[in-house]
Amino acid sequence: MKPILAANLFRLWVGDIDLDAEMSLIRHKFAVPSMTASAWATPCNLDMGLCSEGTAGVDGLGNSEDRRDFRWSTRVFSIDPASARDVDDALSVQWDSTEQCYRVGIHIADVSHFVRPGTALDQEAAQRGNTFYLVDHAIPMLPPTLSEGLCSLLPGTDRKTLSMEILLTADGFVKRDPWIGRGLVRSCAKLSYADAQRILSALAPEPRPDTLEADVVVLHRLASRLRQRRLERGALCLGRRQIVLNWVADGDHEHHVQIEPRDEAHWLVEEFMLLANESIARFLTRHCPENALLRRHPAFDETQLQRIAEWAQKRRYTFDVGDTKAIQTSLDALASSAPAAFYAVRNRLAKAMANAEYVCAADFEDPVAYRHTALDLDVYTHFTSPIRRYADLVVHRQVLLALDSIPDDTLRLQTRAARNAQTISAISGHCNQRKRDAEAAQTAATWLHLALEFYDKPREYNAIITGFVNRHQALQLYIPSLDLEVILDIAQDLGAVVRRQAESTSTGLEELELYWSPSVLAPDPSGQSPAGAHCEASQHRPVPDGRADTRRRW
């Protein structure tokens, strides 16, 4: 692998970058909401939809007799990013000697208790659709009074939840349908992912029973079984990791640039959130099959799959596209034997997949149509992040109606009126668009900050050439350390010329020979790259006729 000057991969802005102006353009283009809203002005007013029981109690809890109380009988804790203030979810685990299995609690903030359908606050949340994350700050879906306060499952505070308890055997099998209902919890700790990972990575003996550390270890074991079985069933692991900018001074750099970690602590939480979402989807399709809000992921386009298989076969790699399990098995084999091919195929598969989307069950006559292909699940929904996603809040309301667990008659009528299939279908479409807006805004903001960082302080990253594009006039590169695919124009970015392209008779791989003139390869007296040459001269070894020995095969 050759070092590639990272500054040249982010040619989005030229010259001086006005960060504020560019961010304003991003906010306008993707309809990013403002940090505040008029609907947030009086957050404790009953008419605005907050606190269905008025303002009783400093925490807005009011009467909790209809809730199952986990505060004194169950050790509840959360695992989140260290900087998170909007804590949607928390976990608990206990051994049930009677059932001879583990009782795993998944506790989700009960946002529906505070946000009534049809109110100004609800309308504002619906319009926003989700929280927007823009590198150095978040624009919440709900006012901070809720998102970071009354709804957030912070340690040492009583919080209302919509909880489920799932009975899991030591092998990670679900014993029967989970208990689902309103709960009241008091988290004992807010662990960061790093905290949880330190517990799991500790070389010390097993933690003492009946401790927080022991709970983390037990949940990790159960999550490992769930994950293993999910992958064996046919789930795909194509997820691209996001670039994370940590704003911490480090020598000459203002922040670290890295990709989000995917360690054991992350997928511990992920497995239980997936299990909760699947369980709720099954619950809804049984109790309100005509209007359940679900999340589908369409199947691969067979033509594109065959093209990927042919692409791999041409390069003498075996790649089975018979089903999702075969695809994942083939990917795993490539990852260990041919990393460059693995990255290229994985990226092609990701592009060949349609985006997951919210739908109303009534939109399809055949239930097969709302399968989630990547997870290999018949039904799936979003339930676990109601502070940050409006779709989850709607799902909470559907669950509570199905449970007949809305004590207020007026509120019950309001919720039921907003639950018809036509309304759910419209909400699904709107949430899909706002999710696309949020993701596009986050990507644009990240690239803007990267461009600014690399413009001032260029860095080098190892890259793998995964193919040729634009009629062999550009290189397709993958940067493993950033999990990033980029296109490098041979003439504009490298200052080179393609002199020969052919297919190797021995390997079947495409070959390009690139040439640089001696003037391009000669270093500038100032130490800078020559005008028009975007790669550092030290990257190329000149040969007598001025050609750089940089031929790459793929």
pLDDT on residue 247: 60
Instruction: Give tens-digit pLDDT for 79-100.
Output: 999 889 999 999 999 999 999 9
Q: Which residue has the higher pLDDT, 47 or 427?
A: 427
Q: Report which secondary-structure segment, H or E, holds 552.
A: strand 552-553
Q: Report yes or no: 419 and 113 within 8 Å, Cβ to Cβ.
A: no
Q: What are phi and psi of 136, to 5 degrees?
A: -105, 0
Instruction: Give tens-digit pLDDT for 440-461.
Output: 999 888 888 887 777 777 778 8
CA-CA distance, 160 to 153, in Å (whole number)? Answer: 8
> DSSP letters of 314-328?
HTT-----SSHHHHH
CA-CA distance, 182 to 180, in Å (whole number)? Answer: 7
Asked if residue 58 has pLDDT above 70, the reply is: no
pLDDT on residue 335: 84
Band of residue 548 on the pLDDT scale cut at 50, 70, 90: very low
The mean pLDDT value for 295-300 works out to 93
Asked if residue 37 has pLDDT above 90, the reply is: no
Listed ranges 53-57, 385-389, 407-411, 505-509; the one with the highest mean pLDDT: 385-389
pLDDT on residue 237: 86
CA-CA distance, 393 to 116, in Å (whole number)? Answer: 10
CA-CA distance, 425 to 422, in Å (whole number)? Answer: 5
Sheet arrangement for strand 474-479 = 2-5, 460-469, 474-479, 484-489
60-84: b (≥16 Cβ within 10 Å) or e: bbeebeebbebeeebbbbbbbeeeb
Asked if residue 106 has pLDDT above 90, the reply is: yes
Q: What are phi and psi of 525, to 5 degrees?
A: -55, -30
Out of 188-192, 392-396, 398-402, 544-548, pick the least confident.
544-548
